Amino acid sequence: MRLAYRFAPLAAVAAASLAAVPASAGCLTGAAVGGVAGHYAGHHAVLGAAAGCWYGHHRAVMAKRKAAAQQTTTTYQHTTPAPAHQ
């Protein structure tokens, strides 16, 4: 019974993190890299993971915006008629 009490918070955290995966694009990768870098830079793994999560999410949002802008530009290039020469 005590074993169930030990793993219940872990299971709750795992379930909550899986539910939030689409909203946290880039956070998990950034947190992993930042945590390792923070650990080697003076045992600040938690601070490094937080900063890595922020930066990974920022990069994912910028990549998504860039892809959307390129798709919009490509769509307009193919539908624009050629100018008439006089």
DSSP assignment letter at 22: G
29 within a domain of the structure (yes/no): yes
For residue 63, give its domain range.
25-78
18 within a domain of the structure (yes/no): no
86 within a domain of the structure (yes/no): no
68 within a domain of the structure (yes/no): yes
Greatest mean pLDDT among 6-10, 17-21, 66-70 lies in: 66-70
Per-residue model confidence as pLDDT tens digits over 27-82: 888 888 899 999 899 888 999 999 999 999 999 999 999 998 888 776 555 556 66
Q: How confident is the model at residue 16 (pLDDT cuts 50, 70, 90)?
A: low
Q: How confident is the model at residue 10 (pLDDT cuts 50, 70, 90)?
A: low
Sequence-distant (≥ 6) Cβ neighbours of residue 26 within 8 angstroms: 56, 57, 58, 59, 60, 61
Q: Which two tokens stand for residue 53?
A: 């999560």
Q: Cα torsion for 15, 13, 51, 59, to the nearest 10°?
A: 0
pTM comes to 0.56
19 within a domain of the structure (yes/no): no
